[in-house]
Amino acid sequence: MHHFNRLISLAVCSAAILLTACSNKPGDADIQQDLAATYECPILQVSDVKKVDGAETDGKVYEVAFTYTVSIKGGAEAAGKMFAEWSHLDAQMHPTQLALEKAQYEADVRIASGQIGGDRNTDPEVRRLSQAKEQLENRINTLVPCQSLEALSRLQIMRSAAEEAAKSGQSQIAVPVAIKMRGNGHMGKAESGWHFVDTPALSTVEVVTETANYPRFKQAEAPATTQPSTAELDPPPAQLASIAATPGYADSTVDNGPSFDCAKASTTVEKMICTDPKLAAADRDTAAAYKVKLAASADESGLKQQQANWRRSVRDICTDTDCLEGAYKQRLAELR
């Protein structure tokens, strides 16, 4: 009878091969299931998942090494259009943000001096630039509708490769269409099958490209701003103190958030900062130090350009938290 029951159990497992709970070790399908959740995004797909090594650790956890490919749906033409427009829009974000900060500061100065009433958000120039920034953010989020940092990080690597290839000036370039990956992690067995019990270590092996068209967008000019008066650009110290004390002068974020609105975070770096309390605090400290130095600076436009250059060339090229922590630490030291 025992032998008969054992045969029945084996038959059930054979017939229901898709029920991974029957397996005594994780397989390709288990790994793919968890990777699909990691890269959940309408424009991406995970394929060619293969377990290349594995070993049991303590009887409950299985260590696996694996390879896989993350591809952009639609092929090279779709990828070329996406990367080209994404780069074009992202290039406009920095000057737009810089112009908005300038307009907000000037509005705060006018409010503090009694020239206008209300708050900075009622200022026409602040409203115009806020709407411009929001439109850019909305389009980027529509173009790259990925929420996970891992998916955004790999897309950013592919986009950087596309931008480098586009420097040739040719209408057709080697457009990244996929990225080959390798990883290793620990999987535990549950009723629904095998799943990673911790975040697997993932790394890029190769960016796969295909020749395709890369649209060229006309370089957008930085948003124009109204020219403030000399008194507005160089207010007396007492007036600056009143500005700093004005409700709403600080960026409209919660105390434990960064200096910007996380609900409008559109770039990989901004989303990394919003999900890491330590980075959010570093961003707040840096923004506060920047405003103090800006108020006392004899070269306001130069300092603003310096801050924008730091964002673009130092902070925003980071792909991990260690890089961002170092970038903020260095900038905070410079501002102080």
pLDDT (tens digit per residue) in 267-295: 888 888 988 888 988 998 888 888 888 88
Mean pLDDT over all residues of the chain?
81
Say yes or no: 96 and 225 in one domain. Answer: yes
Strand 44-56 versus strand 193-196 pairing type: unpaired
User: Is position 2 within any domain?
Assistant: no
| Res 135 pLDDT > 80 | yes
User: Is position 114 within any domain?
Assistant: yes
Q: What is the mean pLDDT of residues 76-104?
A: 91
Question: Looking up tokens 């994404």, which residue turns up?
Answer: 86
CB atoms within 10 A of CB 113: 15
**Domain C-terminal end among 196, 229, 262:** 229
Mean pLDDT is highest, among 9-18, 224-233, 326-335, for 326-335
Say yes or no: 255 and 223 in one domain. Answer: no
Cβ 121 vs Cβ 127: under 8 Å = yes
Q: How many domains does the chain have?
A: 2
Say yes or no: 116 and 202 in one domain. Answer: yes
Q: What is the pLDDT of residues 161-187, one digit of tens each?
A: 999 999 999 999 999 999 999 999 999
User: Is position 241 within any domain?
Assistant: no
Cβ 272 vs Cβ 324: under 8 Å = yes
DSSP 290: H
Say yes or no: 176 and 286 in one domain. Answer: no
Say yes or no: 305 and 210 in one domain. Answer: no
Question: Looking up tokens 């008194």, which residue turns up?
Answer: 231
Say yes or no: 206 and 334 in one domain. Answer: no
Choose the weakest-confidence range: 107-111, 232-236, 330-334. 232-236
User: Is position 9 within any domain?
Assistant: no
Output the pLDDT for position 191.
83
Per-residue pLDDT band for 262 (boundaries 50, 70, 90) equals confident
User: How far is 225 from 241, CA to CA, in rounded Å?
Assistant: 25
| Res 210 pLDDT > 70 | yes
Say yes or no: 184 and 87 in one domain. Answer: yes
User: Is position 6 within any domain?
Assistant: no
59/45: higher pLDDT: 45
Its domain, for residue 268, covers 250-336
User: Is position 218 within any domain?
Assistant: yes
User: How many residues comprise the chain?
Assistant: 336
Say yes or no: 196 and 303 in one domain. Answer: no
Say yes or no: 204 and 254 in one domain. Answer: no
Say yes or no: 215 and 257 in one domain. Answer: no
DSSP 47: E
Per-residue pLDDT band for 54 (boundaries 50, 70, 90) equals confident
Rg (the chain; Cα; Å): 26
User: Is position 156 within any domain?
Assistant: yes
Say yes or no: 83 and 163 in one domain. Answer: yes
Q: Which residues of 128-141 are buried (b: 16+ CB within 10 A; e: fewer)?
A: bbbebbeebbebbe
User: Is position 4 within any domain?
Assistant: no
Say yes or no: 55 and 142 in one domain. Answer: yes
Residues 6+ apart with CB under 8 A from 145: 41, 42, 43
